[in-house]
Amino acid sequence: MKRRDPTIYQVAEGAGVSITTVSRVLNAPHRVNEDTRKKVLKAIEELHFVPKAEASARARKDFKRIGVLTPYFTEPSFVQRMRGISNVMMGSEYELIVYAVESLAQLRGYLDMLPISRRIDGLIIMSLPLRNGDAERIRDNHLQTILVEYNHPFFSSIEIDNEYGGRLTAEYLLGKGYRRMAFIGEAGEPPYSLHPSAFRLTGFQQALSKAGVPLTEEYIGLNPLNMERVIEQTNLFLDLPEPPEAIFACSDIQAVGVLKAARRRNLRVPEDLAVMGFDNIDLADYMELTTVDQSLDESGRTSVEILMGRLTDPTRPIQNIKLQLNIVERSTV
């Protein structure tokens, strides 16, 4: 003879509350009075109650889960967006699932799977390219999605204008009187990720040309995101017959490499060499790095907010947001 597992009903009876309350202490503990919660928990313990996953799944209309699909999960700039996301999610009833991508195959896998496997309510796609087929599948399966650093007509998005960022930097540096400049960007990026570096370069180059100080080949260094390579590249620049007076690194992390190289050569910054970064991650403040702020935290925060908005009311319109870019003056320029 089988003894039936205890149900939420016996727990409710045991604790002297309604089944709703029991359900709530399991799914939204903060919405239950502390004492009640303890009573229920005690009853649960005593009865060795284990909720039947299938029954919950059946009754549940949604999962209250938001997924974040992201490359370089632990790179500072991504972490900072994550911080924004995490901050708003923490106050909510949603769980945060991280899908870290490190290969094209993996990205494809997630994009195929996520909209169909139905385990999340909403998806934030960070700095990852979407093909039309993917977009259609996501839309057809009604998976609420927002794109960060990318866009597609089907979805809301949050971006910055990278080209403008390049121009802005050029103008700022020009305004400070620098003429001979160099650019350090990313190269050999994996095929699954986006390449904002190229756009920043375009804008930078454009503005420089317009000002009559074109950026020639030897002053452009594209390297894999790797500290040593950046240092080497900087040395290459500095060994040029006419070394640059200022270097624009397309990310703060790369700017650190430039700074390191300068330090090793006992160069004064910014007197001997000005250094400009991009992103304004916490590190930039720590190192007193002059950089372009792209509101990373805000980007993350807003992305979840928009997503949650549509989750609670799917009729809300798609939004395409362009975040502002601002130069943060510190001491390396």
Residues 23-82 close enough to bind DNA by CB under 7 A: 23-24, 26-27, 30-33, 35-37, 49, 51-53, 55-56, 58-62, 64
Q: Which does 17 bind (CB under 5 to 8 A by kind): a second copy, DNA, none?
A: DNA
Whose tokens are 């790369």? That residue is: 254
Task: Identify residues 277-316 at the interface with a second copy (CB under 8 A).
Answer: 283, 285-288
The answer for 237, left when phi > 0, alpha when psi is -120 to 50, beta otherwise, is alpha
Residue 153: asked if its preceding bond is cis (omega within 30°), the reply is no
Q: Which does 36 bind (CB under 5 to 8 A by kind): DNA, a second copy, none?
A: DNA
Amino acid at 202: T
Token duo for residue 301:
């925060």
Out of 93, 102, 228, 329, the residue judged to bind a second copy by CB under 8 A = 102
Binding mask 143-182 for a second copy (x = CB under 8 A): xx--------------------------------------
Burial class (CB in 10 A: 0-12, 13-18, 19+), 1: exposed
- Least distance (Å) between residue 38 CB and DNA: 10
Of 113, 138, 130, 121, the closest CA to residue 304 belongs to 121
- Least distance (Å) between residue 269 CB and a second copy: 12
| Residue 95 sits in the site that holds a second copy (CB under 8 A) | yes
For the CA atoms of 206, 207, 213, 214, the dihedral, rounded to the nearest 10 degrees, stands at -10
Output helix, strand, coil percentages for the chain, rounded to the nearest 5.
45, 15, 35
Q: Which does 265 bind (CB under 5 to 8 A by kind): a second copy, DNA, none?
A: none
Count of C-beta atoms within a 10 Å radius of residue 98: 11
Q: Which does 316 bind (CB under 5 to 8 A by kind): DNA, a second copy, none?
A: none
Task: Identify residues 3-22 at the interface with a second copy (CB under 8 A).
Answer: 3-5
| Residue 227 sits in the site that holds a second copy (CB under 8 A) | yes
Distance (Å, whole) CA 185 – CA 253: 11
- Least distance (Å) between residue 25 CB and DNA: 8
